[in-house]
Amino acid sequence: MRIKRIYALAFAAVTLLVWPAGIVLAEKLGTTVETENGMVVGTDEVKDGYLTWSWKGIPFAQPPERWKAPQPPDDWGTLAAEAYGPMCPQYVAPGIVYGSEDCLYLNIWRPRTQERNLPVYFYIHGGGNSIGFGGGSMNLGNTLAQRGNMVVVTINYRLGPLGWFVLPQSLQSGNPLDDSGNYGTLDMIQALKWVRENIAAFGGNPHNITIAGESAGGFNVATLLISPLAKGLFHKAISESGGFFADTNSMQAGSESAQAAIERMLANDGCTDPSCYPADLGAYLLSRTPTQIFQAYPTGAGTMLDLSVFSALGKYALLDPDTYNQVPAILGTNKEEWKIFMIGMFGTIPDDEYQAIALLMSGQWQQAGVDFLAAAMTANKGQPKVFAYEFDYGAYNPDGYNAWPYPFSVMLGAMHTIEMPFLYGDWNFYGLGPFIFRSDNQEGWLALSDSMVAYWASFVRTGKPRDPSGVLWRPWSNEEGGPKRILLDADATQSLIQMSNQ
């Protein structure tokens, strides 16, 4: 009987592939999809002529308990997945906090085809781990899903002090995950688990998932590389302008930071003397609104390190093949990253001094966010290829072609986030699009965009970034004079891409 059953299963699997047209044994892909938690009904979406199916606002976890690890979602019957879920609480303007703690939702896009086993692009948004959400205009998956022929997933995760907060020892439960302080990271891991279990229903391949992120999202990609809890949940990694520019913090540092925040909360409530401290500190903290909590963190909260979530070695885990998740990786930064943080200085100092500071600080970012990681990973036995890039388009060139007119050429250049439209298609770029992405330089930036999407899509599919009509992107080499990074640039009419040994 067992042999007959094996033959029957094998025959059924083969017939799904070769059964004559017109006889359908498997349900067709469409906007209605059955997941392990229930049916989800998506929509046809059109953006810039790209046609996809999209499903928005899918809960990948239960509404989270504050400062607790996320739990798998409850069943929902049938879900109308037509609108983004609420963003997580965050500052939306100075002093103004907006969002809901019930925010653990994800969004999915895929091409309108019947193709299955598409590679999965799991995108983690940036924003310093204190702002942003999976439905932001720069994170839309419609364009990349169609152009790259892939399934694109974007997620929300808890931010700031609701995402990273070490409870006082007296309030800890003894559950390592609940006490870890890394709730935002645990949200990402829970979202990856949900995707692994359900993405095949959307035509995605659960055995071909690439985690990708920009800025803080790129930092989060790096932390997932050193998280034992994320092992096996992804198969490739892309970090744009991330890496470990700042290392993870110790639990001691996290505890001290949280205690100082608690004292600021109490002071904001008029309590500045120990005699008025609440008898039940746990109840007090749970009674605070997100606004009251964020007001104790005027600039957001940092990321903690905990042995239950990350390797105790932090970024140095990448020096040992046994202490991180070895996968193919793309690591990159922009040539003038730091200019986004210097815009307020423009015009107050000479242009050449402004440029020198930007290049110095951006070079340090590249060293910490790309070079250290690429060299460490490449040196390890068993590590798949690591590919590095430098995004140069728009960089200021005092002696030659400048993509942006003055003052944008000096003030903005190839700054932080400027590469994102080339992949995700939002050419408005915070309202600057009409000034920098113009008709007179359109041929160049569109050609560069085509090549970048080709490289990214090839990497997501195979682990090797290839542009059939472009430059061969060679992996990072630790040998002196060996290839290091590809330089991504263009002029007004064509892409200008080349390998560099520096």
pLDDT at residue number 250:
76
Sheet of 32-35: strand order equals 32-35, 38-41, 77-80
User: What mean pLDDT is predicted for residues 472-487?
Assistant: 97
The mean predicted confidence, pLDDT, of the chain is: 90
Q: Could you report the per-residue pLDDT of 65-86, keeping only the tens digit for each?
A: 999 999 999 999 999 999 999 9
Closest CA to 97 of 159, 154, 139, 140: 159
Structure tokens at 98: 């907006």
| CATH placement of domain 35-327 | 3.40.50.1820
SS (H, E, C) 210-241: EEEEECHHHHHHHHHHCCHHHCCCCCEEEEEC
pLDDT at residue number 444:
97
User: What mean pLDDT is predicted for residues 153-172?
Assistant: 93
| 214, β-bridge pairs | 240
Q: Where in the chain is the domain with CATH 3.40.50.1820?
A: 35-327
Buried b (16+ CB within 10 A) or exposed e, 125-141: bbbbbbbbbbbbebbbb
**Residue of higher predicted confidence among 24 and 68:** 68
C-alpha pair distances (Å), 350 with each of 198, 212, 353, 409, 502: 55, 37, 5, 14, 28
First to last CA, the chain: 64
- Of the listed ranges 76-85, 427-436, 477-486, the one predicted with least confidence: 427-436
C-alpha pair distances (Å), 306 with each of 171, 182, 251: 17, 7, 6
User: What mean pLDDT is predicted for residues 142-153?
Assistant: 95
User: What mean pLDDT is predicted for residues 447-473?
Assistant: 96
Widest CA span in the chain? 83
User: What mean pLDDT is predicted for residues 101-110?
Assistant: 98
* Cα 43 from Cα 239, distance rounded (Å): 30
C-alpha torsion sign, points 418, 124, 38, 207: positive
In residues, how long is the chain? 502
Sheet of 386-391: strand order equals 43-47, 50-59, 105-111, 151-155, 118-124, 204-214, 236-240, 329-334, 386-391, 485-490, 495-500
* Cα 476 from Cα 389, distance rounded (Å): 10
Structure tokens at 496: 């200008």
Q: Could you report the per-residue pLDDT of 362-398, keeping only the tens digit for each?
A: 999 999 999 999 999 999 999 999 999 999 999 999 9
Q: Is the pLDDT of residue 155 over 50?
A: yes
C-alpha pair distances (Å), 480 with each of 272, 310, 383, 476, 483: 59, 32, 19, 11, 9
Place of tokens 């990321």: 303
Share of the chain above pLDDT 90, in %: 79
pLDDT at residue number 275:
87
User: What mean pLDDT is predicted for residues 209-227?
Assistant: 95
